[in-house]
A and B are shown apart, each in its own frame.
Chain A
Amino acid sequence: MTLVALLSALGAFALLALASDRHRDRWRGLTLRWRRPAGWVLVALTFAAGFAAWGPVYGAIGATGLLMFAAGVSLLTLNLTRR
């Protein structure tokens, strides 16, 4: 479940980043207007998976941590691979 939470967090912030003005041209997979809502759905899923993995108290802490980590991964990946 920790892994599901991690993947979901990475997906969430990848979508949110790809919905932003700066990075929207990097990917053509999903229509632009669905990226942000899909990202938020994955944020919710991260919390659900976090609760399942760590329980309601630690889950909230773990999911927040994973989302911060995923935001960092998105930021670095998208900006450092930009030409």
Chain B
Amino acid sequence: MSKGFRQSQSTLHTWSGLLLGWLLFAIFVAGTSAYWREALNRWSRPELARIESTDRVVRGAVDFLSRKAPDAQSWFITVPTTQSAGADLFWVPAVKPGEEGRGRRGRRDTRAFIGSDGQEGTARATRGGEFFYRFHFDLHYVPVFWARWIVSIAAMFMLVAIFTGIVTHKKIFRDFFTLRRGKGQRSWLDGHNATAVLALPFHLMITYTGLVTLIAMLMPWAIVANYSDEAKLYEVVFPQAPVAERTERPAPLADLVPILHDAERRIGGSIGYITVFNPGDAAARITLTRSGNSMLSARTPSIAYDGVTGRLLWQAPPVGGAVETQGVMVGLHAGRFGDYPMRWLYFLCGIAGSLMVASGLVLWTVKRRERLPDPARPHFGFRVVERLNVGFVAGFPLAMTVYLWANRLLPFGLERRADQEINTMFAGWAVVFLYALARRPGRAWVELLALQAVLLVLLPLYNLVALPTGLFATIARGDWVLAGADLTFLALGTGFGFAAWRVHRFRPKERRRAARAPQPAANWAPAE
């Protein structure tokens, strides 16, 4: 391969990696945590006992909706598993005459959460692990449309960075098992290469399939060319049972639980969510959609029943090749199909990806530091990158930990509590960011990594002292979802503590040389 080509790819790799690397890091970390979304949802609601009977929760959901929104246009119930915290519900209220055009109703007015006891409101209001999942493609405080474009552009940069990285890496096979320690820039490069190359199948898959999840937004041309009518497209992609018009003749709703079990038998897997159209009306329809936990494709089929008689009305036809392909790619990205060993593999690969992005960002400064004319006074661009690295790489995981602490410490009855948890997280991140900008990076790295370690390790200790879901109790009950969460926090905290200790002990060779020189460079600080 010509040297010029490799050099150009190397430059492209450096800049495509750096420019959106900070955002990519946040996306990667939040997305990685989403593999334990359900576990975090449970962990965030320690008041709730483990679900013993999912039927009880579904019955509780129907009872709640029958009281709260008997005349709604539709109900939407997520069907829990024994690993989840409970059932999320929402409903579309009936439009009453004279109410039209009054403006949008608040989203929360039509949402509820039913716990394992089948009751609403037993648990603290929180978005739990759901928030990190949404953040990794919807961000926050930004309109969703813009957020998805920003995230998509970052993912495209990532794809470019991966391909150019492969071209740039000169000895991809010879250095496959190489990790040289204590060699400065060489060690950083080895670490960056190892996290990238060893988990390369994952990185390629996750970035490409991540783009595929938003393909209709990014590359709409095939759709525009083939479908003039959007409704027709929806019919092909999300086949739905025909909805009957409301008759205004009241009729009791059929028992949902036997229908749920019948649907599971017919569809060949567990059900993920139930939609009830026209509840309480003679034209009621119940649609049940297969759960993504039970198949690879995320485009899961539906089945529909008459809501009064419970008679089977409709079953989704098999989807076409294009929809199936996209569904499989999205399923592969989300990993919902995975059992626990599989989820651990996904999670570890996600950590490797996060470390790859983080080490790449740090490497940018490590590489340039040696070439600085005056290491005591690096140029402005260098200082910006150095401090942004601290603000994002040390700051974002810290902000996530602040969110978990907010979940524990904010008062139960606080107004808009779930939103306040999120606001606390971003307020915490803002403080950390300002600190990272103001403080000498060498010190800021150590202090923030150490703080992160302490906050993570204290989380399970707090649970032990203040809550009935302490580690010993959950292990004794064999509740490995909650125990696993606490143990993971302990392990991650130890990892961050180790990183803080290593950075603290790190003394660059240049610094020792500088110390012997007549003018010691007091402001000089290591980035790693």
Interface on A for B, CB 8 Å cutoff? 2, 6, 16-17, 20-23, 54, 57-58, 61-62, 64-66, 68-69, 71-72, 74-76, 78-80, 82
CA distance A82 to B401 in the complex (A): 35
CB contact between B348 and one of A23, A69, A75 (< 8 Å): that residue:
A69
Q: With A65-B345, A65-B349, A69-B345 given, name 9 new contacts (CB 8 A).
A: A54-B342, A57-B296, A58-B296, A58-B342, A65-B342, A71-B176, A71-B198, A76-B179, A79-B179
Given contacts A66-B345, A68-B349, are A79 and B181 in contact (CB under 8 A)? yes
Partner of A61, one of B179, B342, B348: B342
CB <8 Å contact, B342 and A62: yes
Q: Are A72 and B337 in contact (CB under 8 A)?
A: no
| B202: contacting residue among A2, A23, A68, CB under 8 A | A68
Q: How far is the CA of A9 from the CA of B365 in the complex (A)?
A: 36
Complex alpha-carbon distance, A44 and B280, angstroms: 58
CB distance from A73 to the nearest CB of B (A): 10
> For A80, what are the chain B residues with a Cβ–Cβ distance below 8 Å?
179, 181
Please pick, from A58, A69, A79, the residue contacting B178 in the complex, using a CB distance under 8 A: A79
Given A58-B296, A72-B199, decide whether A65 and B346 contact each other with a Cβ distance below 8 A.
Answer: yes
Q: Mark B329-356, 1 if CB is under 8 A from A, else 0.
A: 0001000011101100110110010000
Instruction: Give the dominant DSSP class at A's interface.
Output: helix
Interface residues of B (CB under 8 A from A): 174, 176-181, 194, 198-199, 201-202, 296, 332, 337-339, 341-342, 345-346, 348-349, 352
Give chain B residues whose Cβ lies under 8 Å from the Cβ of A17. 176-177
A2 with B341, Cβ < 8 A, contacts A65-B349, A72-B352, A79-B179 known = yes
A78 adjacent to B177 (CB under 8 Å): yes
The reply to whether B341 and A62 contact each other, CB–CB distance below 8 Å, is yes
Q: Which residues of B contact A64 (CB under 8 A)?
A: 201
Report the separation of the CA atoms of residues A62 and B198 in the bound assembly, to the nearest whole angstrom: 15
Contacts of B332 in A (CB 8 A): 61
Whether A68 contacts B201 in the complex (CB less than 8 A), given A58-B342, A75-B194, A79-B181, comes out as yes
Q: For residue A74, which residues in chain B have a CB less than 8 angstroms away from its CB? A: 177
